[in-house]
Amino acid sequence: MVKITFPDGTVREYEAGVTGLEIAKSISPRLAKEVLSISVNDETWDISRAITSDASIKLYKWEDEEGKHAFWHSSAHLMAEALEALYPGMKFGIGPSIENGFYYDVDPGDGVVIRDADMPKIEAKMKELARLKNAYQRSEVSKAEALSYFTEKNDEYKLELINELEDGTITFYKQGEFTDLCRGPHLPSTSAIKAVKVLSIAGAYWRGDEKRKQLTRIYAITFPKQKMLEEYLVKLEEAQKRDHRKIGKELELFAFSQNVGQGLPLWLPKGAMLRERLENFLKKVQRKYGYVPVITPHIGNKQLYVTSGHYAKYGEDSFQPINTPAEGEEFLLKPMNCPHHCEIFKTKPVSYRDLPIRMAEFGTVYRYEQSGELHGLTRVRGFTQDDAHIFCRPDQLKDEFKKVIDIIQYIFKALDFKDYIVQVSLRDKENHEKYIGTEENWEKAESAIIEACDERGMNTIVEYGEAAFYGPKLDFMVRDAIGRKWQLGTIQVDYNLPERFELEYMGSDGVKHRPVMIHRAPFGSMERFVAVLIEHTAGKFPLWLTPEQVVVLPISEKYNEYAEKVSNVLNNSDIRSVLDDRNEKIGRKIRDNELKRIPFLLIVGEKEAETNTVSVRKQGDGDKGAMTIEEFSTFINNEVEEQLSSIDK
């Protein structure tokens, strides 16, 4: 017999060899129908895999990320089986599950191109194979057996992956006529896959290397019920309407130019105004919390980033070094702001009485992201972080960390991000080699984050392997208006950079000590944050933030002069107003400006000019009647004040 411990601490005994599915059946038949995967001693398994020793378990359903992962990873294998049937001789790269669905990178062979027009036949084949209810069969194989199988199959991509694995750790999964190299977990069979949609086809370099062959990446999604797919497609349609690239173009916020370079956004006047207001909002909050502004260069000596460790970690993802006329002198576009802030700390002696020192900078950094990974403002090669670094004594660390949590929550409230997950990102349990610093410092940093969250009463999830290379962090994962998850704010504790830069302060004991460093970015990056904000609000920004609050619309050219007067009065009252004096019918002007998401439309004609009034129309709320210019100024300023004051409640 084996003892099985459940999440609530209860223990039951089962015969050795019991499976997760059998355990679920022993609890209830309904649970057995819903369970998709199981964790056994914190390792996710197939629910059909035998448990032969005492274990702690957790059963995962569709509502759990681990359940969806098993479902979609199994579906990736189903799609690969369909592709192999449709395109004999196809070779396969990797096929992971992702946040919404899965993809498979494939090499269809010379002269074979998979197009959008082929998506329906791939879907049909997947459905046909799913109905066969083939079992996903797991088998452990030796490295020699694995190499032999894929050598015979002539699949160089799988052979490359196998060569990097240790013998004794390799498993195959087989369903129907298809066998794949895979760690799992998978569903018991294909029968649970009821609804299929192939979403898109793109190109992707093998292993993200532009020097390697470009493969075909096929994205798809599956569900256990057709209704769930239909609901997802409605959400997807709404997401496409909210696409920040589409709305950003319509609202004239930002643009890209091939002449400037891929992944390097150009902020247009309205976008710059939006971004400036976000920056000013955060600067006001930072002043309240005692931050001081600093500015650092866009480049730095290569040795600076060697010292910090960023060159070793980001070297491959950075732009190539800049060589100067001086022999052997090399500079880099900065990948991070923190090394520069460490050097600012060292510019003068620091006493324990001076701490904490809080430096803030909207600093632009550069990473050479692969061209296939670039996506609007969410993935760019040059981006501005709302970066700050706090240098403090160890006894100040927890309080400073909690204050940063307060700042992030304040910002989320201001921008109506109500649904978010707080993730404690720690080191990989097994592989500590990819991190710098001592075990002692890592343990202190991880404990400080966990204790600060507990004292703030925060519900957190823990993710191992998601820490930065120099320290653990707290990540704020926001769900937008249609349920998509985005990583925005982040706070990181770092004992290591102060060591590497030999930062010191004079303690009360007359001895020099190392400060602790907190990295924090409530927005994350201005580019990504604006992209998420656009999609969250569908371009309808809060009144206090929107670049254009009011547009004045004369009903004919005769009233252009009065309309200009109205617009000027409003601008002089700190109300952001623009004038639409095009020679167009008023109905056309109203439609055009509503598409621009301008909150208030002021219509003026003969009556308004005579009475010094405006006819007010509010976006999404229709006519608000006539007001004098002064009354409207008071009305809109009160609404802005009400929005901002509600944040502080």
Catalytic residues: 338, 367, 385, 387, 389, 473, 519
In the block, residue with structure tokens 């050479």: 368
Distances (CA, A) of 294 to 337, 340, 365, 527: 11, 10, 15, 20
- Strand-strand pairing, 460-464 and 577-579: unpaired
Can you tell me the distance from the alpha carbon of 355 to that of 168, in angstroms, rounded to the nearest whole number? 53
Can you tell me the distance from the alpha carbon of 472 to that of 70, in angstroms, rounded to the nearest whole number? 28
- Can you tell me whether residue 469 is helix, strand or coil? coil
Task: Specify burial of residue 401 (Cβ count, 10 A radius: 0-12, 13-18, 19+).
Answer: buried
In the block, residue with structure tokens 């990056």: 525
Can you tell me the distance from the alpha carbon of 20 to that of 332, in angstroms, rounded to the nearest whole number? 52
**Contacts of 295 by beta carbon, 8 Å cutoff, 6+ apart:** 361, 363
Helices (H), 555-628: 560-572, 586-595, 606-611
Count CA atoms within 13 Å of residue 480 on its CB side.
Answer: 23
498 cis-preceded (ω within 30 degrees of 0): no
Task: Specify burial of residue 67 (Cβ count, 10 A radius: 0-12, 13-18, 19+).
Answer: buried
- Can you tell me whether residue 513 is helix, strand or coil? strand
356 cis-preceded (ω within 30 degrees of 0): yes
Backbone angles phi, psi at 482, to 5 degrees: -115, 20
